[in-house]
Structure 1
Amino acid sequence: MRSRLATLFDSTYERVLRREIGEGPDHVAIIQDGNRRYARSRGDDAHDGYHAGADTTERVLDWCADLGIEELTLYAFSTENFDRPAEQRETLFDLLEDKLREFADADRVHEQGVCIRALGDVERLPSRVRDAVEYAEGRTAGYDEFTLNIALAYGGRNELLGAVRAVARDVADGDLAADDVGVAEVESRLYRRPVRDVDLIIRTGGDERTSNFLPWHANGNEAAAYFCSPYWPEFSKVDFLRSIRTYEAREESWRRTRAKRAAALVRSLAAVELDEARTVAGRLRERLPGEATDEELTEALEVDGAGTRETAD
């Protein structure tokens, strides 16, 4: 009975949340944390948690399609994960290999036009995972309706360090002038990039940190962040919709802030211009004999302004 009531409540709440949100973000990035803790809480092995998390990933793809989200990036394997015990690494490598090939062959991936891409230092991965990456990318390369980025052997700090070193080498070799180094020059030397900057980062599992994830494309874009307590295998559509609502509330707040800043700037400029006009008018009244009429003052202001422009030129 309680299970049926919970299901009914979730279904009703989903509809309420869906009505509350609008267009939503274009690009969502997710740190899928808590697979092992989920398994331990149930008395299972770590690999059971990873497989349960993979099922959540498939559901999230459907939710993105329902909401019209155009790009999803999943933090599947970080550079720090290489420090895990060999058994855990091999379990993750096996799962990544299986899921990449499974996604590449899934009917819904082809029906929804999903392009699968890997982001990160893929060459560090075992050959079987690299082969699966190549297979998935090759099978979906022609699609552009939805982009699924899998962050593999990814570390944001390493990515930025690599880009900076590449820029420094090009400057030292004379292939790039130091004064020409800008955003485009750095971006072109990052790992393969997401198609769009990140609008929203979601992290499950209770930790409130972004863990070296997409610093250029998320933090640089001032992406919204949503942290929630459910472990990744427990992450529900209600949680996902809440994250979208948080993103939209933040965007609305930013719009109000930008509008206030723009209004303050306009008022400031108007005050400066008014003060300058009064100063000029005062000088002109001293220059004109007797009591100047409005027409004379206007004409004099135009002459003075022209003289000022000529001097500035």
Structure 2
Amino acid sequence: MKRWLRQRINAAYERVLSREISGAPTHVAVIQDGNRRYARGNGDNAHEGHRQGAKTTERVLEWCQDIGVEELTLYAFSTENFDRPEEENEALFDLLEEKLREFADADRVHDNDVHIRAIGEVERLPERVREAVDYAEARTSGYDQFVLNIALAYGGRSQLLEAVHGVAEDVDAGDVDPDEIDVETIENRLYDRPVRDVDLIIRTGGDERTSNFLPWHANGNEAAVFFCTPYWPEFSKTDFLRGIRTYEHREESWRRTRARRGLALLGAVSDTELVEARSVVERFRDSLPTAEQPSPEELAGSNPESVDGIDSSGQTAD
């Protein structure tokens, strides 16, 4: 009876969360933690935990597509994982090979135009896994509706270090002017193909750290982070929706901050900067509590319709 009641409550909560969510992040990154602890808790070996976790991965892919996420990155195997027992890693490599090929042939992947690709030091993986990566990437290379990144032999710092080394070598060779190095210069050397900035990182298993995961694309974008206690095989749609809600709250907070800064600037900037400040406030005004929202007349001053040829929405007047 208790299990039945819990299921009913969870289903009701899931419906409530679904109604509360009004938008979706473009890029979600997931640290799938807790497979081994889940297995130990159930008296199984680590391999069974990884296998159960793979089922969760399939469900999360579907949930992302349902709400409109366009890119999903899964932290499947870090460079630190090479230090684990060989027997455990070999079983995990077998599972990775199996699932990569299974995903590459799955109808739902082709029906939804899912592009599968691996990021990380793939050359360090066993040949059978590298071949499965090549197979999955080749089978889905023509798709662009949804991107599924599998982080394999991945370490964020090592990726950044390799990119910096590449830039330094080009500078020494005279191919790159140091004064022309910018964000795009680094990004072009991180991966063969572009990776979107991360909007939300989800980590299961109870640890509250991001473990060197996509530092350039997550930290640089000030991604929202959602930590939760369920082990990866136990991760539910309710947990997923709570993560999405965390992202939405983060976005709302960002908008309020921008609007408040714009209001503060209105009293401190020069006339030439007033138009831009008013435009910022107008754009994010609805994010403020009602009591804090300025009226259009307060924004525009003596002329609410136009300020120096710019209307109250920040657009150039005809």
Report the TM-score, using the length of structure 1 for normalisation.
Answer: 0.85
Question: How many Å apart are 1:5 and its aligned residue?
Answer: 1.3
Q: Per the alignment, in what secondary structure is the counterpart of residue 188 of structure 1? A: helix
Question: How many Å apart are 1:189 and its aligned residue?
Answer: 1.0
Question: How many Å apart are 1:210 and its aligned residue?
Answer: 0.3
Query: d(CA) in 1 for partners of 2:194 and 2:76?
Result: 15
2:50 maps to 50
Query: d(CA) in 1 for partners of 2:205 and 2:47?
Result: 17
- 8 Å CA contact 1:120–1:192 kept in 2: the answer is no
- 8 Å CA contact 2:104–2:140 kept in 1: the answer is yes
Q: Per the alignment, in what secondary structure is the counterpart of residue 23 of structure 1? A: coil
Q: Per the alignment, in what secondary structure is the counterpart of residue 238 of structure 1? A: helix
Task: Say if 1:85 and 1:194 are closer, same or farther in 2 by CA, change over 3 A.
Answer: farther
Query: d(CA) in 2 for partners of 1:24 and 1:136?
Result: 27
Q: Per the alignment, in what secondary structure is the counterpart of residue 269 of structure 1? A: coil
* Greater relative CO, 1 or 2 (CA 8 Å, sep 6+): 1
Question: How many Å apart are 1:11 and its aligned residue?
Answer: 1.1
Question: How many Å apart are 1:266 and its aligned residue?
Answer: 2.3
How do 1:116-155 residues align onto structure 2 when only pairs under 5 Å count? 116-155=116-155
Identity percentage of aligned residues: 70
Question: How many Å apart are 1:239 and its aligned residue?
Answer: 0.2
1:161 maps to 161
Task: Say if 1:267 and 1:82 are closer, same or farther in 2 by CA, change over 3 A.
Answer: same
What RMSD, in angstroms, separates the aligned Cα atoms of the two structures?
Answer: 1.5
- 8 Å CA contact 2:188–2:194 kept in 1: the answer is no
1:180 maps to 180
2:216 maps to 216
Q: Per the alignment, in what secondary structure is the counterpart of residue 268 of structure 1? A: coil
Structure ranking higher in helix proportion: 1
- 8 Å CA contact 2:36–2:49 kept in 1: the answer is yes
Whichever residue aligns with residue 6 of structure 1, its letter is: R
Query: d(CA) in 2 for partners of 1:76 and 1:193?
Result: 19
Alpha-carbon displacement from aligned partner over 1:251-283 (angstroms, at most 9, x marks no partner): 100100011112212221159999xxxxxxxxx
Question: How many Å apart are 1:116 and its aligned residue?
Answer: 0.4
1:89 maps to 89
Q: What are the ranges of 5 or more consecutive residues in structure 1 without an aligned counterpart?
A: 275-313
How do 1:51-66 residues align onto structure 2 when only pairs under 5 Å count? 51-66=51-66
Whichever residue aligns with residue 162 of structure 1, its letter is: E
How do 1:217-296 residues align onto structure 2 when only pairs under 5 Å count? 217-270=217-270
Whichever residue aligns with residue 48 of structure 1, its letter is: E
Rg (Cα) greater in structure: 1
Q: Per the alignment, in what secondary structure is the counterpart of residue 202 of structure 2? A: strand
1:311 maps to none
Dislocated runs of 4+, deviation >4 Å: 270-274
Question: How many Å apart are 1:141 and its aligned residue?
Answer: 0.9
Query: d(CA) in 1 for partners of 2:122 and 2:192?
Result: 10
Query: d(CA) in 2 for partners of 1:67 and 1:262?
Result: 32
Report the TM-score, using the length of structure 2 for normalisation.
Answer: 0.84
Q: Per the alignment, in what secondary structure is the counterpart of residue 267 of structure 2? A: helix
Question: How many Å apart are 1:91 and its aligned residue?
Answer: 1.3
1:299 maps to none
1:196 maps to 196
- 8 Å CA contact 2:187–2:194 kept in 1: the answer is no
